[in-house]
Amino acid sequence: MIRVRGVVLPEGEHRDVYVVHGRVTYDVPSGGASTVAEGWIVPGLVDAHCHVGLGEHGGIPEDVQEQQATSDRDAGALLLRDCGSPSDTRWIQERDNLPRLIRAGRFLARPKRYMRNFAHEIEPEELPAYMKQEARRGDGWVKLVGDWIDRDIGDLAPCWPRAALEEGIAAAHEHGARVTAHVFGEDALPDLIGAGIDCIEHGTGLGPDLIATMAERRVALVPTAWQLNNFPKYAEQAGEKFPEYSRHMLALFEQRKQTIAAAYEAGVPMYAGSDAGAVLPHGLIGEEIAELVRHGMSAYDALGAASWRAREWLGHNPTLEEGAPADLVVYPADPTLDVGVLREPSRVILRGRVVR
């Protein structure tokens, strides 16, 4: 039995939190408790867009998967929405010392329209069947690659026709899964949102009308703000061969803060995701929250986007209420005043056990 003392967020009340048999209680247990931390107490953080099991060239072995998951855990991310992976990571769900994991199965992309060895590369007529397959294999999510560079035109272009999207998304919904899509540019967004998608990843091409539609329909946005800082590098790498794509990526980069701020102000449900995996290292959730603040979110809302609101969105206990699983992170100062403290937790408790 252990005790954590401090200000419990999001309520902001100073309380003693006891952990008994892996769950939170506020009733003082008999027999005493050992105090393991004091400070500001936050429900376990959520990385709502990461890729456990994914490396630069595709799938990776289990020991490297474990390193990725451990890095996320030690940064305070105790619930991960894996947003596409070619690896079978179900074994992580059986480990009490690793984060809770929600898998989206393998990416679904068009042939030669995504990074090699990452996705099932399929044609539009195959999409509904593959959506059903990945809905059964995953944990309630399916991931589409909504746009990518089309080398014939030298720029970003949609990957799927509207009819295939409507049929595919309906098939996933019938099998109890929500659907999300990687989208950098503008052109793929109307059909994806019109076809009933549940979430957009990145979303740098969003304009006022589609932002309003997302807010009205409660379509979520995970902007992966830290990852967007790589757009100039992508533009430079493609510049000589695909100059139009290069210019487009730079334009999306320049407008990224305005786009994210507009979505936030319009009330689009937004959640924090680092996009760790192939390009970025794991353990960046604190950096992602800080980047959301730099893009216009309040510190309180940015933290909520990576904790209590994200947990509720993914079907987990949003707060440290009586009887909730004891997944919590402790910080030495108030993260709603200074999100910089999120980079270095004082204590991490997962399933009632001190893991950091």
Residue 235 belongs to some domain of the structure: yes
Region 270-298: what's the mean pLDDT?
97
Instruction: Report helix, strand or coil for 153.
Output: coil
Here the tokens at position 163 are 């009819």
Would residue 346 count as lying in a domain? no
Residue 136 is predicted with a pLDDT of: 95
Sorted by sequence, the CB contacts under 8 Å of residue 219 that are 6+ apart come out as: 193, 197, 198, 199, 200, 213, 268, 269
The long-range contacts involving 61-66, CB below 8 angstroms and separated by at least 24 positions, are: 62/91, 65/89, 65/92, 66/92, 66/98
**The token pair that represents 201 in the structure block:** 């990843």
Give how far the C-alpha of residue 18 lies from the chain's centroid of Cα atoms, to the nearest Å.
Answer: 29
Q: What is the pLDDT of residues 106-137, one digit of tens each?
A: 999 999 999 999 999 999 999 999 999 999 99
The domain containing residue 158 runs over which residues? Answer: 45-316
Q: What is the average pLDDT value for the chain, to the nearest integer?
A: 97
Residue 162 included in any domain: yes
Number of domains in the chain: 1
Query: Across residues 264-283, what is the average pLDDT?
Result: 97
Residue 194, pLDDT score = 98
In a domain, 192, yes or no: yes
Banded model confidence at residue 28, pLDDT cuts 50, 70, 90: confident
Confidence of residue 26 (pLDDT cuts 50, 70, 90): very high
Q: Are 148 and 109 in contact (CB under 8 A)?
A: yes
Using an 8 Å Cβ cutoff, are 280 and 259 in contact? no
What is the per-residue pLDDT for 170? 98
The answer to the question of residue 208 being in a domain is yes
pLDDT at 301 over 80: yes
How far is CA 272 from each of CA 21, 87, 174, 178, 310, rounded to the nearest angstrom?
Answer: 30, 23, 27, 18, 8
Domain-embedded: residue 88:
yes
Burial state string for 56-76 with b = 16 or more CB within 10 A and e = fewer than 16 = eebbbeeeebbebbbbbbebb
Q: Which CATH number goes with the domain that contains 218? A: 3.20.20.140
In a domain, 306, yes or no: yes
Residue 283 lies in a domain: yes
